[in-house]
Structure 1
Amino acid sequence: MTTDKEFDLIVFGATGFTGRLVAEYLHLSGASGARWAIAGRSLDKLAKVRDALHLPPSVALLKADASDAAVLKAMLARTRCVITTVGPYQLHGEPLATACAAGGTDYVDLCGEPLWMARMMTKLTPLAQASGARIVFSCGFDSVPFDLGVVYLQAEAKARFGAPLPEVRGRVARIKGAASGGTLASMMETVAAVKREPALAKVMANPFALTPGFKGPRQPDDRGADFDDWADAWAGPFMMATINTKNVHRSNALRGHPWGEGFVYSEKLLTGRPGQGDKGRRKARALTCFTRLQNLALGLAPTRALLRRFVLTQPGDGPDKAAREAGRYELWFTGQSAGGETLRAIVKGDRDPGYGSTCKMISETALCLLQDVDRDATPGGVWTPGSAMGLALVRRLQDRAGLTFEIAA
């Protein structure tokens, strides 16, 4: 790997809980031979991270604040790519993303905030196209396994049937592990933004909010309980569906709609195993009620204030190693061909989704962007993981990050 840059990769926000996990993973995995550094606001805290993780001297410590444009520009001049775990991105992400887009530095993050992403796409796309920077949002549990699950399934459908599947249903079959504090913080900031500007509710409800200039067919309503005949199980709302569905449709649009302009996608959480009947129905309805109450509660300023004070994890806090390693998830992606043939892809992760698996996914996404993806195929612009890297990222995640992608027998 030849470059005139000092580093291939910088982890920005390495003193936070997730950033530290990313640094640990890069160290233990060997980072595919990449030269990397860690960055944050405090050199003292960075030094403590380096010592605690036993990082080699080759991993430099870089002091940088997201609000200091001059320092960011100088830092980015030294690297090919940045991983940033500093969210909520609608509060802290714009200066770094803008500096990367303007300066030609590749960028990956964990953003699951559609309102910010929609605004940033408009701002960053012309900058990134001019500079050659590849800006890739949503490189953690939201939305890598969902985005790539559809990419993988559709590739199999084309190989088997000669055509893509007109509809795919994403279903969370199993999940063990709590949502990250960053996810909850992002949700609260999004709710607060909608309260300040009610018109933004339409953006949140629009599955094509990240495909400007294109609006596909009416999509299924993911908010209620229903029986999924393809899964033979009841299903209820899944909290990540709001962002994942938008990213899946953006992946289709960015590659020129290889799955068709009429493509339909929905995403839910299965509340029972196939054939469970009434038990699954009751759980689906209870989940629907809980989700509605949760959304109402988050809409109240006092509730958000209490959550910020007593619930959200602080930098350095999060589940311990045993809890992260005990987590798991299994996702089903099912479609039917025009001839009525059913095809299902199963995606599994071997750690808890919010931390253990996410730190591996974002690290390997950055390395895939640097090492496996031709700039002629993926030039400067604002991308999704599925559209930027596709099956190359599927292969890397299977080889290195504990994910499996397979077609059900």
Structure 2
Amino acid sequence: MSTGESARKYDIVIFGATGFTGQFVVDEVARIAEEEGVTWAVAGRKMDRLQKVLEQSGQRTGKTLEDTPIIIADSSAEQSILDMCKQARVVLNCVGPYRFHGNQVVRACIEGGASHIDISGEPQFLENMQLLYNTKAKEAGIYIVGSCGFDSIPADLGIVFLKSKFQGDLNSVECYVSLKSGPEGAAINYATYESAVHGFAHQGELPDIRKQLFPSPLPRSKHKAPRRSETMATTAIHRGFTVLGSDKSVVTRTQRYNYDVKKSRPIQFSPYLCIDSFLYMVLMVVFGTLFGLFAKFSITRSILLQFPGLFTVGLVKKGGPSKKQIEGTSFSMTFFGEGYSDKLDDPEAQHETPPDKKIQTKVIGPEPGYVTTPICMVQSGLMILKEKSKLPSDGGVYTPGAAFGETSLITRLDKRNVKFQVLES
């Protein structure tokens, strides 16, 4: 426990409560605060906007929120961020893109003695925070846990769940993500798109960060996981087409932690996004190619940012998805694992025979960005508040799987309609 933690005013402070995602996080905290017995406050730059968010959240949730404490804090004003952190046990940071606004908040949390949860899907930010602040967070005894939304709780904890159900040595896992939208279609808020643009623009930073973080590679299995072509129909698992998905960087860091700390055998992980038609698959490949090319140069990058609707055929909206679009959208992640019936004690020892055992599991849930993400974020914060004895013994910068793999997070998510299931074993 960090110094003065028990005397802090609030268990949870939601920073960026007026943002598009932040308002849904406010709703989720409002729903669970009384039941969980937590105190909380909202934080942001403008009093009137914060008051409006609380008023609207009260209408949506049926909770009385007008007396909810408000903290004025701005990521460009370091003292205000530090003052906010000194009042909190856990900061739920909803202010992105994190590569521009996250570093100063993480630093203030460490100095102010508050743990930090974010929902970043930006590998450069996440891995750089581990490089810069892991030691300092350990010394302060606080937890910095990134990617605690749809990026990447379902994938990272999905691996934890699958592994817990597999008797033997797990060798590889393929993850197939399917998104389903209703008659109103789906939409993505502009801030998510903006983060992706800058992530692609600066992906060249990753090799150097990773070289410093992990100078030695993980041991590799002699039985490699299959590589799926982007144009390949994977009829045994998914009747359609796939493009490469996200989450691999987070899951790989969890595997690194498990290997280094728990002496656990690393798992090969291959994520894919399922596409139902050949036409959509071609459009995705073309869009991805153009997006990556345009993001590299400042002039074309500014065009991407200025005309998001044009480049995404209306998928990205500055006002985010409508209520009907959110209500009509859901996701599923199907995990296909292969491994060995027998278990070797040495994580570097090789199995001589090919994998002889399979398992399939699934994670399903409501709309990923603005329903599942707030649920995952808030429940992650509760793990730090309520189950610290089940977290890594030292503070530090962690992935969700590393931080919460031994907690009741999966059980809690299941009760909040993010379901973990065994399909076949």
TM-score normalised by structure 2 residue count: 0.82
Deviations 1:365-385 (A, max 9, x none): 111221133166443000111
Q: How does 1:264-343 map to 2 (within 5 A)?
A: 264-272=268-276, 284=281, 287-311=284-308, 313-314=317-318, 317-339=319-341, 340-343=356-359
The count of residues paired between Structure 1 and Structure 2 equals: 384
For residues 46 and 282 of structure 1, the distance between their equivalents in structure 2, rounded to whole angstroms, comes to 44
Q: Find the partner of 1:96 among 100, 105, 121.
A: 105
Equivalent in the alignment of 1:50:
54
The answer to which of 77-86 and 211-220 deviates more is 211-220
Instruction: Give the conservation status (yes or no) of the 8 Å contact 1:105–1:133.
Output: yes
For residues 211 and 378 of structure 1, the distance between their equivalents in structure 2, rounded to whole angstroms, comes to 21
Deviations 1:23-68 (A, max 9, x none): 1121133362210000001112112212222352442010011122
Deviations 1:210-263 (A, max 9, x none): 756444438766773334465154542245x2xx11111111222336695452
Q: Which runs of 5+ in 1 are unaligned?
A: 273-279
Instruction: Give the conservation status (yes or no) of the 8 Å contact 1:216–1:263.
Output: no
For residues 172 and 100 of structure 1, the distance between their equivalents in structure 2, rounded to whole angstroms, comes to 34
Task: Go from structure 1 to structure 2 and tell me whether the alpha carbon gap of 1:44 and 1:222 turns closer, same or farther (over 3 Å shift).
Answer: farther
Q: Given residue 10 of structure 1, which amino acid in structure 2 is its aligned partner?
A: V
Q: Given residue 176 of structure 2, which amino acid in structure 1 is its aligned partner?
A: R
Matched, 1:255 2:258: yes
Task: Go from structure 1 to structure 2 and tell me whether the alpha carbon gap of 1:262 and 1:109 turns closer, same or farther (over 3 Å shift).
Answer: closer
Task: Go from structure 1 to structure 2 and tell me whether the alpha carbon gap of 1:334 and 1:346 turns closer, same or farther (over 3 Å shift).
Answer: same
Task: Go from structure 1 to structure 2 and tell me whether the alpha carbon gap of 1:172 and 1:232 turns closer, same or farther (over 3 Å shift).
Answer: closer
For residues 263 and 281 of structure 2, the distance between their equivalents in structure 1, rounded to whole angstroms, comes to 30
Instruction: Give the conservation status (yes or no) of the 8 Å contact 2:198–2:295.
Output: no
Q: Find the partner of 1:135 among 131, 140, 144.
A: 144
Aligned residue for 1:20, secondary structure, equals helix
Aligned residue for 1:59, secondary structure, equals coil
Matched, 1:83 2:86: no
- Alpha-carbon distance, 1:341 to partner: 2.2
Instruction: Give the conservation status (yes or no) of the 8 Å contact 1:236–1:288.
Output: no
Q: How does 1:67-216 map to 2 (within 5 A)?
A: 67-157=76-166, 161=167, 163-176=168-181, 177-194=186-203, 199-200=204-205, 202=207, 211=214, 213-216=216-219
Equivalent in the alignment of 1:6:
9
Aligned residue for 1:67, secondary structure, equals coil
For residues 405 and 19 of structure 1, the distance between their equivalents in structure 2, rounded to whole angstroms, comes to 25
Q: Find the partner of 1:361 among 376, 393, 398.
A: 376
Aligned residue for 2:150, secondary structure, equals coil
For residues 234 and 294 of structure 2, the distance between their equivalents in structure 1, rounded to whole angstroms, comes to 29
- Alpha-carbon distance, 1:408 to partner: 0.4
Task: Go from structure 1 to structure 2 and tell me whether the alpha carbon gap of 1:345 and 1:77 turns closer, same or farther (over 3 Å shift).
Answer: same
Matched, 1:236 2:251: no
- Alpha-carbon distance, 1:201 to partner: 6.2
Equivalent in the alignment of 2:230:
224
Matched, 1:66 2:75: yes
Q: Which runs of 5+ in 2 are unaligned?
A: 59-63, 309-315, 342-355
Aligned residue for 1:15, secondary structure, equals coil
Aligned residue for 1:127, secondary structure, equals helix
Task: Go from structure 1 to structure 2 and tell me whether the alpha carbon gap of 1:375 and 1:262 turns closer, same or farther (over 3 Å shift).
Answer: closer
Deviations 1:101-151 (A, max 9, x none): 233211000111111222221111111000011000001111010111111
- Alpha-carbon distance, 1:358 to partner: 1.1
Aligned residue for 2:74, secondary structure, equals coil
For residues 365 and 201 of structure 1, the distance between their equivalents in structure 2, rounded to whole angstroms, comes to 26
> What value does the CA root-mean-square deviation take over the aligned residues?
2.7
Instruction: Give the conservation status (yes or no) of the 8 Å contact 2:130–2:398.
Output: no
For residues 209 and 222 of structure 1, the distance between their equivalents in structure 2, rounded to whole angstroms, comes to 30
Instruction: Give the conservation status (yes or no) of the 8 Å contact 2:188–2:321.
Output: no
Deviations 1:188-223 (A, max 9, x none): 1123335xxxx436469x8x9975644443876677
Equivalent in the alignment of 2:37:
33
For residues 292 and 151 of structure 2, the distance between their equivalents in structure 1, rounded to whole angstroms, comes to 19
Instruction: Give the conservation status (yes or no) of the 8 Å contact 2:14–2:92.
Output: yes
The answer to which of 226-235 and 291-300 deviates more is 226-235
Instruction: Give the conservation status (yes or no) of the 8 Å contact 2:41–2:71.
Output: yes
Q: Given residue 117 of structure 1, which amino acid in structure 2 is its aligned partner?
A: L
Query: Identity rate of aligned residues, in percent?
Result: 27
For residues 384 and 239 of structure 2, the distance between their equivalents in structure 1, rounded to whole angstroms, comes to 37
